Structure 1
Amino acid sequence: MHRVPKRKAPPHDPPETRVITPSGRRPDVLVVGAGGSGAVLAARLSEDAGCEVLLAEAGPAPRALPDFPAGLLDARLVPGAQPGHAAVRTFPALLTPGLPYAAARGRFLGGSTAVNGGYFVRARRADFDRWSAHGDIWSYDRVLPVMRALETDLDLGATALHGGDGPIPVQRTDLGHPAAAAFQAAARSLGYSDDPDKNDQGRPGFGPVPTNTAGGRRINTGVAYLLGEAAQRPNLTVLGECVVRSIVISRGRATGVVVERGGRRTVLDAGEIILCAGSLSSPHLLHLSGVGPADDLARHGIAVVHDLPAVGAALSDHPQTVVEWTPRRPMPVPSGGWLGGVLHLPSSSGGDAAGDLEILQSLVPTMGLVGGEAAAPGAPLPFLVSVQTPRTSGGLRTVSADPDVPPRIAYGYLDTGADRRRMREAVRAAAAVVATGAFGEVREGLADPEPGLLDDDGLLDAWIRARLGTSQHTCGTVPMGGAVDGHGRVHGLEGLRVADTSILPTAPLRGPAATAVLIGEVIAGAVRRGG
């Protein structure tokens, strides 16, 4: 992938102010980031022919499906798991003190929805109950019609709970694969409920995974919202390879952004700025623009524009590890996607019945996910085991006024005894699935962890820490309440909103991709209503 050169304009050569729209008009709205929320916002706002919309994406922004690399569309692959992938940007982070990690985010039209696993599961009612404290706009009853409108459910069609003509196709994984069928039988033998529709708020248990795929193709938000009729709108301009460096704020109002494109620094002026750069880049951009914890920013040479301590003060994400099992016989290569079934169950301290532990089945070996291949003969198959209890920890600090210096990101995983206990419960639950007679139809044995570790808390804690990862579900870095209101408006500033998963005070009880799309829809509706 072509990278924008890291050229900085000399001090005597200030950036010029330009309007880059076909009409020559100053944009009414400038959206930063064409990912899970930004592509949605730009598409929805530009449905109003009188609203001039400019969308700036740091990565490539093709305007036709044939221009997308095949690997970004193949639902059997997870580009974000492949080290060095051209459509991915990584952020250095610490999962625990002394445990480094590279957090992957999409840098292509569609953002992280172009490189993630295609898991498209709605948040739970309990999540909306928490978020609606910041405005009834987030109550489950208010968002249900929006969730229906954004999807076409290819399995269930249009119902009181599901949509039949929205831009995002939703298709559940096929449980006919031998490993998926064995997982289903094992879950039933352990007494877990059938949960055939993960998006209906029913009792959690085992079921297929709703995905934003159709016929084996991942449909990211750029494809779904921007490549059809929206691409022909004269009032929508999409700029690819356009890296936003900071927000221009004058007298308490955001008036534009400084960008680098083609080696040239430019100020793009607009009536309103909406950050949709993601939970790692949106707070970093605010910090670079002087919006954040004043003392900390000043300490690192950043001119303070607006003291807003909640920006980057904490984050919310889901710790994850991998439990692997060895097949008894060669497993068929999956045809429609990499995912099998998923089991949700409550931890001993989950606090509600929504099921805060997740065991997600991969039909592709870890070696294949990392190597970009749907098959890796002879390799063990993984369960991705995560704890999705809503909580915050860690945070994001900007340590330089230079935008090329990455922020310091700490996840703060496994900080408490409860954190460690829930991870042990999740690993043991996955191992119990593998140990059932029903799963014995396909498995030779448990590959990792070794069975002897499972009964010793200390040994299992050490095993988890050594293999710890993250679900890449970061939220809460620009939270509603502390930093923005329920409509995404940044406290104390005019003309500036944030509309991505960074505004969720806590990550939902399920992966947030579907919620990122919902955020784009909800905030677009608020903007159009003048809210």
Structure 2
Amino acid sequence: MVGAGAAGAVLTARLTEDSDRTVLLLDAGPIPRGKDGFGPALLDARLVPGAQPNHPATTAHPVRLTPERPWLVTRGRILGGSTTVNGGYFIRARREDFDRWAAAGNPAWAYDEVLPFLRTLESDLDFGPSELHGGQGPMRIRRNRIEHPAALAFHDAARHFGYPTDPDKNDQAPPGFGPVPSNAIDGVRRNTGLSYLSPEVLDRPNLTALGGCQARRVVIKDGRATGVVVEHDGRRITIEADSVVLSTGALSTPHLLQLSGIGPRAYLERLGIPVVRDAPAVGAHFSDHPQVVLDWTPREDLDDPADSWLGGCLHLTSTGGPPDGAGAAGDLEILQSLVPMSGLVNGVVRVPEAPLSFLVSAQTPRPTGRLRIRSADPDTPPDIDYNFLSTADDFRRLREVIRVTAALIDTPAFADISQGLLDPGHEVLDSDRALDDWIHEHLGTAQHTCGTVPMGPADDPEHGAVDQFGRVHGVRALRIADTSILPDTPQRGPAATAVLIGELIADAIRRGRR
């Protein structure tokens, strides 16, 4: 097992429940034991370690959001992966996401099929066990309270415009304003390491967990994965295995496959990499959510958040809908931060007189990205293009969600606590062309990359690199278990779906399902 992140930790915990199975878990980062091993600074749910440049628990991938917009995408490099360094947002994908993936040749991913796994993985501390929610799963889920003055103002502003109440964003009800389901409990970010790989699980006799192991390539002989080459303690060694599962993340996994000879033939041959499997879908069309940050200035110093940086969250449906006219419910997201962005970047909760922010994004699935290997040297990062803002609809959606956010801040509810939106000003907001220029200059990403090794039928190699249970087409004993297998990014952040991937693939392995 390579990778102890959002899905890898889940898969490891479930597979080692079978005493007759032996698992070797390798991760490039450290593998702390329990809360004391992580330390309070890393687990403080009022902060986002992944927002802090050069945080030791992260690794940064150089990318281009547009041809003129370089960026660094940060991912977790520690037990729990990005669930250790992200914001604790834990919203399920929408029913239409699951059913879209199922219709693409992956019937096990239909909503009604995955719902039992969604219940199994969680303990919902607000709604308890039901037909929709679980009560005994490893991931403890709680919705942040709408009590902070800024969150209350957001609530009232949403009501002012008649947006529906959305008290449980995991129940597939019509989208609207509500609290964020989160794996932050009593101020502690409960990552998949804490939730699934407790010290008791790490001590199972059939599990060996080894940190500081950087995977370099998968060893494949006669069409079968037989091990991995890793760097450990300054030495390059080959570790043999009966089967290999890669769970290194949606940016690292496709790169590792390409280094191993699994990817588009033309690119591999150009670099002198022996082709094991011509897999044109690897890295060919991934997706993510474009995002911009809108700052507003409080009239006076507001309270520090009690347990989480997250405030309220509004999902609304874009008026134009996707290009095909089939509207997607809640494809725009306005996510509130109760900690200044300068605080999140610098690892502190309080920054006197600093503005607060909304993170606004367009969440329509748009598989525009491309990842291609640039060298057979594993230390050379791949070439990663997100190709955001490639259509007029991309700009239209972002313009709409920005203008809605500006209108919310202009309501009487916000006027009591806010001096108004800092940027963009009305002269920009009122002009499509000026606002498009502003979007291009301020564009970021929600860091929700999916689809770099998409699941789909073997007879459609342009769109499917693995089957619905993560098995790599044409290579025996090799599976992928992370968000790279999703055909595209769901219409919500993918953390909860990443945990689901671990549960679903573990079940497939344990049942011997094809």
TM bucket by the smaller chain?
over 0.9
In 2, the alpha carbon distance for the partners of 1:431 and 1:223 equals 39
Q: Which amino acid aligns with 1:128?
A: F
1:73-116, Cα deviation, whole Å (9 max, x unpaired): 00000011001111110010000002100010000110011101
The more displaced of 462-471 and 134-143 is: 134-143
In 2, the alpha carbon distance for the partners of 1:135 and 1:47 equals 27
| Alpha-carbon shift at residue 228 of structure 1 (Å) | 4.5
Contact 1:302 1:400 in 2 (8 A): no
1:298-338, Cα deviation, whole Å (9 max, x unpaired): 11222221111110111110000011111112111111000
1:45-76, Cα deviation, whole Å (9 max, x unpaired): 01000010111110001123211132220000
In 2, the alpha carbon distance for the partners of 1:292 and 1:212 equals 35
In 2, the alpha carbon distance for the partners of 1:462 and 1:190 equals 28
State which of 161, 165, 168 in structure 1 corresponds to 2:139. Answer: 168
The secondary structure found in structure 1 opposite 2:367 is coil
Contact 2:328 2:364 in 1 (8 A): no
Q: Which residue of 1 aligns with 2:33?
A: 63
Q: Which residue of 2 aligns with 1:396?
A: 371
Q: Which amino acid aligns with 1:349?
A: G
Matched, 1:231 2:196: no
Matched, 1:50 2:20: yes
Matched, 1:342 2:313: yes
Q: Which residue of 2 aligns with 1:125?
A: 95
Contact 2:120 2:136 in 1 (8 A): yes
Matched, 1:40 2:10: yes
In 1, the alpha carbon distance for the partners of 2:416 and 2:132 equals 36
Q: Which residue of 2 aligns with 1:281?
A: 252
Q: Which residue of 1 aligns with 2:473?
A: 491
In 2, the alpha carbon distance for the partners of 1:85 and 1:243 equals 18
The secondary structure found in structure 1 opposite 2:405 is helix
Q: Which amino acid aligns with 2:187?
A: G
Q: Which amino acid aligns with 2:357?
A: P
| Alpha-carbon shift at residue 353 of structure 1 (Å) | 4.4
In 2, the alpha carbon distance for the partners of 1:142 and 1:53 equals 27
The normalised TM-score by structure 2 is 0.96
In 1, the alpha carbon distance for the partners of 2:352 and 2:133 equals 38
Superposition pairs of residues 226-265 of structure 1, within 5 angstroms: 226-265=197-236
In 1, the alpha carbon distance for the partners of 2:350 and 2:253 equals 36
State which of 170, 178, 196 in structure 2 corresponds to 1:207. Answer: 178
Q: Which residue of 2 aligns with 1:448?
A: 423
Matched, 1:103 2:73: yes
Contact 1:354 1:509 in 2 (8 A): no
The normalised TM-score by structure 1 is 0.93
Q: Which amino acid aligns with 1:410?
A: D
Q: Which residue of 1 aligns with 2:502?
A: 520
Contact 2:264 2:278 in 1 (8 A): yes
Report how many residues are paired: 501
Contact 2:287 2:450 in 1 (8 A): yes
Q: Which amino acid aligns with 1:521?
A: E
In 2, the alpha carbon distance for the partners of 1:325 and 1:317 equals 26
Superposition pairs of residues 316-395 of structure 1, within 5 angstroms: 316-347=287-318, 348-350=320-322, 351-395=326-370
In 2, the alpha carbon distance for the partners of 1:404 and 1:74 equals 32
Matched, 1:433 2:408: yes
Q: Which residue of 2 aligns with 1:221?
A: 192
Contact 2:50 2:74 in 1 (8 A): yes
In 2, the alpha carbon distance for the partners of 1:338 and 1:179 equals 12
In 1, the alpha carbon distance for the partners of 2:166 and 2:75 equals 30
Q: Which residue of 2 aligns with 1:24?
A: none
Superposition pairs of residues 291-330 of structure 1, within 5 angstroms: 291-330=262-301
Q: Which residue of 2 aligns with 1:22?
A: none
The more displaced of 499-508 and 64-73 is: 64-73
| Alpha-carbon shift at residue 159 of structure 1 (Å) | 1.6
The more displaced of 510-519 and 421-430 is: 421-430
Q: Which residue of 2 aligns with 1:14?
A: none
The more displaced of 160-169 and 180-189 is: 160-169
Q: Which residue of 2 aligns with 1:9?
A: none
Q: Which residue of 2 aligns with 1:458?
A: 433
Runs of 4+ in 1 over 4 A off after TM superposition: none
In 1, the alpha carbon distance for the partners of 2:272 and 2:443 equals 34
In 1, the alpha carbon distance for the partners of 2:40 and 2:273 equals 42
Contact 1:65 1:227 in 2 (8 A): no
In 2, the alpha carbon distance for the partners of 1:298 and 1:71 equals 46
In 1, the alpha carbon distance for the partners of 2:161 and 2:339 equals 24
| Alpha-carbon shift at residue 188 of structure 1 (Å) | 0.7
Q: Which residue of 1 aligns with 2:461?
A: none
1:171-193, Cα deviation, whole Å (9 max, x unpaired): 11110000000100000111100
Q: Which amino acid aligns with 2:335?
A: L
Superposition pairs of residues 56-95 of structure 1, within 5 angstroms: 56-95=26-65
Identity %: 60
What root-mean-square deviation, in Å, do the aligned CA atoms of Structure 1 and Structure 2 show?
0.9
Q: Which residue of 2 aligns with 1:504?
A: 486
Q: Which amino acid aligns with 2:173?
A: G
In 2, the alpha carbon distance for the partners of 1:389 and 1:353 equals 7
1:7-30, Cα deviation, whole Å (9 max, x unpaired): xxxxxxxxxxxxxxxxxxxxxxxx
1:490-512, Cα deviation, whole Å (9 max, x unpaired): 11110011111000011001000
Q: Which amino acid aligns with 2:431?
A: D
In 1, the alpha carbon distance for the partners of 2:135 and 2:340 equals 34
Contact 2:141 2:182 in 1 (8 A): yes
Contact 1:284 1:398 in 2 (8 A): yes
The secondary structure found in structure 1 opposite 2:412 is coil
Contact 2:321 2:328 in 1 (8 A): no
1:432-465, Cα deviation, whole Å (9 max, x unpaired): 1101112212111111111221010111011111
In 2, the alpha carbon distance for the partners of 1:299 and 1:446 equals 50
In 1, the alpha carbon distance for the partners of 2:449 and 2:45 equals 22
The more displaced of 508-517 and 374-383 is: 374-383
In 1, the alpha carbon distance for the partners of 2:387 and 2:262 equals 24
1:354-405, Cα deviation, whole Å (9 max, x unpaired): 2000000000011111111111110111000000001100210100000000
The secondary structure found in structure 2 opposite 1:101 is strand
Contact 2:140 2:183 in 1 (8 A): yes
Q: Give the unaligned 5+ runs of structure 1.
A: 1-30
The more displaced of 435-444 and 458-467 is: 435-444
In 2, the alpha carbon distance for the partners of 1:448 and 1:395 equals 31
Q: Give the unaligned 5+ runs of structure 2.
A: 457-463
| Alpha-carbon shift at residue 229 of structure 1 (Å) | 3.2
Q: Which residue of 2 aligns with 1:467?
A: 442
In 2, the alpha carbon distance for the partners of 1:238 and 1:150 equals 22
Contact 2:230 2:236 in 1 (8 A): yes
Q: Which amino acid aligns with 1:363?
A: L
Q: Which amino acid aligns with 1:219?
A: R
